[in-house]
Chains A and B, each alone.
Chain A
Amino acid sequence: AQSVTQPDIHITVSEGASLELRCNYSYGATPYLFWYVQSPGQGLQLLLKYFSGDTLVQGIKGFEAEFKRSQSSFNLRKPSVHWSDAAEYFCAVRGAQKLVFGQGTRLTINP
């Protein structure tokens, strides 16, 4: 069965600092991977997705993610975070007729 692990429950970074959120997946075939962001009281917004091709994918809001098959990872990065990036971030893998989500990483931004 598919599964996703986000090892960091909570991360705090300073505004302007770089960010990396970790995601590891378990899937037998070629994975279809996603990162979503959830702001407080809001739904989930898609940041980016990986289906195939270039392993470095660009998303909205200046985010990017790199697919590494050898490490079963799909880490999310941003070179310089803004206070508005404070939110919950979810990594997901496409399973049979559903998305399977990780536990989420809560991002706090220090001014």
Chain B
Amino acid sequence: DTAVSQTPKYLVTQMGNDKSIKCEQNLGHDTMYWYKQDSKKFLKIMFSYNNKELIINETVPNRFSPKSPDKAHLNLHINSLELGDSAVYFCASSPRTGNTEAFFGQGTRLTVV
């Protein structure tokens, strides 16, 4: 059983398109995140949700819109894709927003051409 699963694993799309990445966790966690890993492997928080409520929006462009239909799912929709959006996007979850580790999905490699 995959704890945190993301789909798709790979996504290649043209500039200007709109795309979504889905994430689901079966760990019963309250908190979910989206991280972006750039070409230099640097990991940066984008969003954090706790029980479907947005907690962190880390200066991410409005083209990125997370949606959490329930606490087990956190999807990421991206409008008007740009070349600079090419990266690996990781979904993660943790039991709560307190001092715990996060469990990561396998990542979605997004390539904008």
Chain A residues packing against B (C-beta within 8 Å):
32, 34, 36, 38, 42-46, 49, 51, 88, 90, 94, 97-101, 103-104, 106
Contact B43 A90 (CB under 8 A): yes
Task: Report the minimal beta-carbon distance from B22 to chain A, rounded to whole angstroms.
Answer: 15
Q: Which chain A positions have C-beta within 8 A of B55?
A: 97
By a CB distance below 8 angstroms, the chain A residues around B90 are 43-44
With both beta carbons as reference points, the residue of chain B lying nearest to A49 in the complex is identified as B101
What CA separation (Å) do A100 and B43 show in the bound complex?
Answer: 8
User: With a CB–CB cut-off of 8 A, which chain B residues contact A101?
Assistant: 42-44
Bound: A104/B92 CA distance, A: 18
- Band of interface residues on B: 20 to 34
Query: Contact check: which of B40, B41, B99, B103 meets A94 at CB < 8 Å?
Result: B99
Asked if B106 is at the interface of the complex by the 8 Å CB criterion, the answer is: yes
Tell me if A97 and B48 are in contact (CB < 8 A).
yes
Min distance, Cβ A76 to any Cβ of chain B, angstroms: 15
Residues of B within 8 A of A34 (CB): 101
* Given A43-B90, A43-B106, A97-B56: A103 and B101 interface contact (C-beta under 8 Å): no
In the bound complex, residues from chain A placing their C-beta under 8 Å from that of B102 are 99
Q: Which residues of A contact B100 (CB under 8 A)?
A: 32, 94
How close is A51's CB to chain B, nearest CB, in angstroms? 6
Which residue from B33, B40, B45, B103 sits with its C-beta under 8 Å from A46?
Answer: B103
Q: Contacts A34-B101, A43-B90, A46-B101 given; indicate if A97 touches B107 (C-beta within 8 A).
A: no
Interface string of B96-111 (1 = CB under 8 A from A): 0101111111110000
